[in-house]
């Protein structure tokens, strides 16, 4: 295994841009726009280099690098806090029950309520893996490395964590939810709105979106059908989130209607089960087709953070680790690592 997760830097822009062009639209955290991606990398650099343990408006961008070729083949992001510099809107699905004595009937209506309930939470997002690498557990490596970073820098993240999944996009590149709700108030197609969002952010949606509750029964059938459903490419990501303890609690994205998953940060499975150990030996007997327990292993603070798969063996005073992983992470005996079993 020659793949490692590391902090992104400005030199990764072209790789990230090429991946962003493959997303197919609607991927708000990874827009195919060089200026927007450059701003993300600059903000990420500020987050990695900021001193202090306080909760701030940080963004951390990571990449998956094949060290054998130097190619970047995946990426992911963590936002330390959402809604710190402006409202963070979601739709929350609620219900209104009304009863008529004269008719002897009770009516229950499902409603979309504009909400800022999720403000102040941390967010994991922006995960993309090159189609040519979607095997060997690399998607899991990218996703779970974020939780080890959070564990190792826990003071920089909130007590609640969210993940927004892209909603359903049709074959023509449109969004049935957008067409049924927001598109009626903006006079632009989903594709136009997506392009505008890539360049300027989605605050314009929140600013112009009607603040009144929206009765779901009044929407088109196509819009109703996709509420809370992930894009077909996001189904695996949703399963991974559920395995980590995330749950859908009736929050959806105001842009495309995709589900917003939530969890208490300390209850994320990878965070709960991760351990911190000292490396007491680097042992050539450990590795693939040899002995040892396969784990996700992380080392380093902030910009020096690296994560990769490796094999460990528990020993007195710590763990032994296989040489290939030690080389990927720059480890020597006495180093401290955070590790969690692969599952």
Q: Is the pLDDT assigned to residue 127 strictly greater than 70? A: yes
**Any domain includes 101:** no
Q: Of 208, 238, 270, which residue sits at a domain end?
A: 270
What are the residue numbers of the active site? Answer: 231
Q: Is residue 105 part of a domain?
A: no
The alpha carbon torsion through 68, 35, 45, 150 (nearest 10 deg) reads: -80
Residues 202 and 220 in one domain: yes
Model pLDDT, residue 185? 82
Quickly list H helices, the chain: 13-20, 34-49, 138-152, 176-180, 183-186, 190-200, 203-208, 221-226, 235-244, 269-273, 323-329
Q: Are residues 241 and 288 in the same domain?
A: no
Size (the chain), residues:
343
53 and 169 part of one domain: yes
Same domain as 291, residue 251: no
Whole-number pLDDT of residue 103:
87
What Cα–Cα distance (Å) separates residue 268 from each residue in 128, 146, 231, 244, 343? 21, 11, 23, 5, 14
DSSP 286: B
Q: Are residues 234 and 263 in the same domain?
A: yes
Whether residues 174 and 259 fall in one domain? yes
Examine residue 30 and state whether it is found in any structural domain, yes or no. Answer: yes
CATH number of the structural domain spanning residue 280? 2.40.40.20
End residue of a domain, out of 235, 270, 305: 270
The answer on pLDDT for 225 being more than 70 is yes
Query: Do residues 167 and 308 share a domain?
Result: no
Which pLDDT belongs to residue 200?
Answer: 73
Where is the domain boundary, 270, 302, 319? Answer: 270
My answer on whether 293 and 186 are in the same domain is: no
Q: Tell me the per-residue pLDDT of 172-203, one tens digit each, with 9 for 90 and over.
A: 889 999 999 988 888 888 888 877 876 776 67
Residues spanned by the domain of 139: 3-91+115-270
Q: Is there a single domain that holds both residue 79 and residue 53?
A: yes
> Could you write out the DSSP letters of every residue in 81-126?
-SSSSS---EEEEEEEEEEETTTTEEEEEEEEEEE-TTTT-EEEEE
Query: Does residue 240 sit in the same domain as residue 202?
Result: yes
**Shared-domain flag, residues 255 and 287:** no
Q: How far apart, in Å, do the first and last CA atoms of the chain sit?
A: 17
Torsion of CA 301, 41, 271, 123, to 10 degrees: 150
* pLDDT tens profile 30-70: 988 899 899 999 999 999 999 988 999 999 999 999 999 99
Q: Mean pLDDT for the chain?
A: 93
| Domain shared by 223 and 321, yes or no | no
Q: Into how many domains does the chain fold?
A: 2
- Let me know if residue 187 belongs to a domain: yes
């Amino acid at each position: 295994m020659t793949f490692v997760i590391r902090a992104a830097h400005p030199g990764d822009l072209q790789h990230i841009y090429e991946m962003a062009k493959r997303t197919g639209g609607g991927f708000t955290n990874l827009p195919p726009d060089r200026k927007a991606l450059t701003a993300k990398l600059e903000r990420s650099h500020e987050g990695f280099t900021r001193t202090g343990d306080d909760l701030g408006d940080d963004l951390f961008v990571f990449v998956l690098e094949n060290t054998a070729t130097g190619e970047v083949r995946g990426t992911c992001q963590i936002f330390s806090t959402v809604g710190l510099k402006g409202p963070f809107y979601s739709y929350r699905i609620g219900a209104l029950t009304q009863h008529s004595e004269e008719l002897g009937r009770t009516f229950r209506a499902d409603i979309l309520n504009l909400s800022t309930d999720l403000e102040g939470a941390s967010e994991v997002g922006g995960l993309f893996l090159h189609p040519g690498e979607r095997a060997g557990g690399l998607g899991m490596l990218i996703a779970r490395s974020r939780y080890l970073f959070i564990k190792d820098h826990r003071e920089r993240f909130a007590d609640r964590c969210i993940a927004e999944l892209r909603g359903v996009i049709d074959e023509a590149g449109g969004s049935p939810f957008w067409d049924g709700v927001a598109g009626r108030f903006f006079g632009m197609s989903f594709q136009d709105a997506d392009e505008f969002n890539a360049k300027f952010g989605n605050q314009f949606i929140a600013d112009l979106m009607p603040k009144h509750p929206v009765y779901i029964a009044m929407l088109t059938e196509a819009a109703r059908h996709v509420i809370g459903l992930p894009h077909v490419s996001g189904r695996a990501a949703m399963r991974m989130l559920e395995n980590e303890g995330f749950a859908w609690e009736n929050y959806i994205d105001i842009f495309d209607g995709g589900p917003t998953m939530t969890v208490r940060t300390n209850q994320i499975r990878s965070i709960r089960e991760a351990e911190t150990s000292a490396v007491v030996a680097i042992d050539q007997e450990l590795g693939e087709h040899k002995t040892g327990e396969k784990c996700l292993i992380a080392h380093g603070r902030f910009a020096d953070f690296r994560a990769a798969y490796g094999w460990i063996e528990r020993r007195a005073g710590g763990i032994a680790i296989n040489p290939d992983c030690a080389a990927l992470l720059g480890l020597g005996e006495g180093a401290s690592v955070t590790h969690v079993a692969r599952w």
